[in-house]
Amino acid sequence: MSARPRAAIVVTGSELVRGERTDRNGPFYAREALSLGLTPERILIVGDDPADLEAVLRSASDADVCLVSGGLGPTHDDRTVELVARVAGAALRVDPGLEEHIEGVSRAIADRLRRPYADFAAGVTKQATVPDGAVVVGIAGTAPGLVLQGERCVYVVMPGPPGELRRLWPAAVASKPFQSVLARTSPPGRKVLRFYGASESAVAQALAQAGGDGGGVEATICARDFEIHVDLVVEPGAEERADAVANALREPLRRYLFTEDERSVAELVLELCRARGYTLATAESCTGGLVAARLTDVPGASDVVAGGVVAYANHVKARELGVPEELIAEHGAVSAEVAAAMAAGVRRQLGVDVGIAVTGVAGPDGGTEEKPVGLVYHHVSAPDGEHGHHFSLPADRDTIRSRATVAALHLARRVLTRSRHEDV
The distance from CA 229 to its chain's CA centroid, rounded to whole angstroms, is: 13
C-alpha 333/C-alpha 313 separation (Å) is: 9
| Cβ proximity to its own copies, 12 vs 149, nearer residue | 12
AA letter at 262:
E
21 forms part of the interface with its own copies (CB under 8 A): yes
Task: Give which of 25, 85, 31, 67 is closest to 154, Cα–Cα.
Answer: 67
Question: Least CB distance from residue 249 to its own copies, whole Å?
Answer: 17
Binding residue (CB under 8 A) for its own copies from 176, 315, 418, 420 = 315
390 three-state secondary structure: strand
Query: Cis (ω within 30 of 0) for the bond into 161?
Result: no
Q: Which is nearer to its own copies, 145 or 363 (CB)?
A: 363
Residue 316 touches its own copies, criterion: CB under 8 A: yes
CA atoms of 232 and 364, how far apart (whole Å): 38
Total length of the chain? 424
Selected from 107, 129, 312, 336, the binder of its own copies by CB under 8 A is: 312
- By CB under 8 A, is residue 226 in contact with its own copies? no
Q: Which of 24, 107, 250, 371 forms a contact with its own copies (CB under 8 A)?
A: 24
The tally of CA atoms less than 13 A away on the side-chain side of residue 223 is: 10
Touching its own copies, residues 46-75 (CB under 8 A): 46-47, 49, 51-52, 56, 59, 75
Q: Taking the complex as a whole, how short is the minimal distance between the CB of residue 159 and its own copies, in angstroms?
A: 14
Asked if 9 and 44 touch (Cβ cutoff 8 Å), the reply is yes
22 binds its own copies (CB under 8 A): yes
- The answer to whether the CB of 233 falls within 8 A of the CB of 34 is yes
Give the integer Cα–Cα distance in Å for 249 and 304. 33
Distance from C-alpha of 81 to C-alpha of 252, rounded to nearest angstrom: 53
Residues 85-104 close enough to bind its own copies by CB under 8 A = none
User: Footprint of its own copies on residues 378-417 (CB under 8 A)?
Assistant: 395-399, 401
Give yes or no for residue 302 binding its own copies (CB under 8 A).
Answer: yes
Tell me the β-bridge partners of 356: 282, 380
Considering only residues 247 to 276 of the shown chain, the ones binding its own copies according to CB under 8 A are: none
CB closer to its own copies, 307 vs 388: 307
**8 A C-beta contact, residue 21 and residue 162:** no
Cβ proximity to its own copies: between 130 and 380 the closer is 380
Q: Which is nearer to its own copies, 350 or 357 (CB)?
A: 350
DSSP character at residue 175: S
Residue 366 near residue 314, CB atoms below 8 Å: no
Tell which one of 105, 121, 173, 310 touches its own copies (CB under 8 A). 310
Q: Closest Cα to residue 2, out of 221, 173, 243, 234?
A: 234
- We find the least distance from the C-beta atom of residue 396 to its own copies, in angstroms, to be 7
- The count of residues interacting with its own copies (CB under 8 A) is 94
User: From the list 99, 225, 271, 320, which residue makes contact with its own copies (rule: CB under 8 A)?
Assistant: 320
Q: Which residues between 107 and 126 bind its own copies (CB under 8 A)?
A: 109, 113, 115
Closest CA to 378 of 409, 399, 416, 347: 409
Segment contacting its own copies by CB under 8 A, of 143-151, 171-179, 251-259, 301-309: 301-309
In the complex, minimum distance from the CB of residue 80 to its own copies, in angstroms, rounded to a whole number: 15
Q: Which residues, numbered 146-205, are part of the site for its own copies (CB under 8 A)? A: 163, 199, 201-202, 204-205
Packed helices 336-350 and 314-321: angle between N→C axes, nearest 10 degrees = 40
* Per CB under 8 A, 36 contacts its own copies: no
